[in-house]
Amino acid sequence: MRAFHIESAGAEPALCTLPDPEPGPGELRLRIGACGLNFADLLMMSGDYQDTPEAPFTLGMEVAGTVDALGPGVDGPATGTRVAVFAGQGGLAEMGCFPAERAVPLPDAMSDIDAAAFQIAYGTSHVALAHTARLQPGETLLVLGAAGGVGLTAVEIGKVMGARVIACARGATKLAVAERAGADHLIDAETQDIRAECKRLGGVDVVYDPVGGDQFEAAFRATNPEGRLLTIGFASGKMPQIKPNHLLVKNLSVMGLYWGGFLKFRPSVVTDSLATLMRWYEEGRIKPHVSHVLPLERVSEALDLLRARKSTGKVVVTPR
């Protein structure tokens, strides 16, 4: 099989040919139909991600495809079942072996491409907004990086949950994508003052921030008393410095959110969230936005789209 593989620590990933894998105890083998890319894949390539596997390993955190073999002690999902799996690695390949307990059966109406773009982005935003921040109907939600992989899902989910959504992104093209996802108000991070615009709109109750840096600082200063700020990531490359005494003045809460971490210490949060999200998908309330679908031989190009911020929503790679 072909796989986008890192052979040793510090080595550059390369598309290579590996033996077809055999599932071990507790595993299933998947004939991969699609793999969704994430900013974390770039961090894994440089060794900067908090859950970077030890080399050798194949990149690709979330996959969808068809089960074609089960390992010892595994009684399902049955071969021929279409599933999505968040495994943290192994998705940028033609085949892969993954923990059977993480396989989520797919609705017939959900394509492999939609499924590969679904779990991390929607899961992160739903757990962040519903479980961690406890967003309420009528509250104002500010989404930074609102046209990105997770940001766009936060706009959608915020609207489904009954919030007023302010979307912040760079440039008219990206803002148009956020508006189509349901944003009520738009802020161009290239030309407008985020703090001033949010204050003009009455301030914000919840901030969803996968960007960090100066945008976090501006959002922090526009947050209403008892506001909640969700730190999702640092796509800007800059981690903001928070002065604790400023939290006291307005009784603010800053909360970190790493979706994959729940699988280790409280997996029911993830499984309950995914059940809700799958139902919303079947009801037509949410729909993944995939701006690019590229074949495995163009995976470097696909990753460059993330690196250069040239994509909106998700980038998905297919084996062919």
Residue 241 has pLDDT above 90, yes or no: no
CATH number of the domain where residue 12 is located: 3.90.180.10
- In a domain, residue 281? The reply is no
For residue 49, name the pLDDT band (cuts at 50, 70, 90).
confident
For residue 211, name the pLDDT band (cuts at 50, 70, 90).
very high
Alpha helices in the chain (DSSP H): 39-46, 112-116, 119-126, 151-160, 172-180, 194-200, 213-221, 244-250, 262-265, 267-282, 299-307
How many other C-beta atoms lie within 10 A of the C-beta of residue 73?
10
Locate 208 and state its tokens.
């969803």
- Tell whether 222 and 96 lie within a shared domain: no
CATH number of the domain where residue 218 is located: 3.40.50.720
Please give the residue range of the domain that contains residue 248.
124-260
pLDDT at 263: 86
pLDDT at 166: 98
- In a domain, residue 273? The reply is no
- Tell whether 234 and 147 lie within a shared domain: yes
- What radius of gyration do the chain's Cα atoms show? 20
- Tell whether 161 and 213 lie within a shared domain: yes
pLDDT at 247: 93
Are the C-beta atoms of residues 116 and 316 closer than 8 Å to each other? yes
- In a domain, residue 226? The reply is yes
Locate 278 and state its tokens.
């799958």
For residue 160, name the pLDDT band (cuts at 50, 70, 90).
very high
- Tell whether 129 and 114 lie within a shared domain: no
- Tell whether 136 and 83 lie within a shared domain: no
pLDDT at 59: 96
pLDDT at 243: 85
Residue 153 has pLDDT above 90, yes or no: yes
Helices 119-126 and 151-160 cross at an angle (nearest 10°) of 50
Which residue, of 260, 280, 297, is where some domain finishes?
260
pLDDT at 9: 84
DSSP 68-102: EEE-TT---SPTT-EEEEE-SS--SBSEEEEEGGG
Residue 48 has pLDDT above 90, yes or no: no
- Tell whether 224 and 309 lie within a shared domain: no
- Tell whether 253 and 219 lie within a shared domain: yes
- Tell whether 159 and 179 lie within a shared domain: yes
| Per-residue model confidence as pLDDT tens digits over 164-179 | 999 999 999 999 999 9
Residue 250 has pLDDT above 90, yes or no: yes
The amino acid that residue 237 corresponds to is G
Share of the chain above pLDDT 70, in %: 100
Q: Beta partners for 209?
A: 231
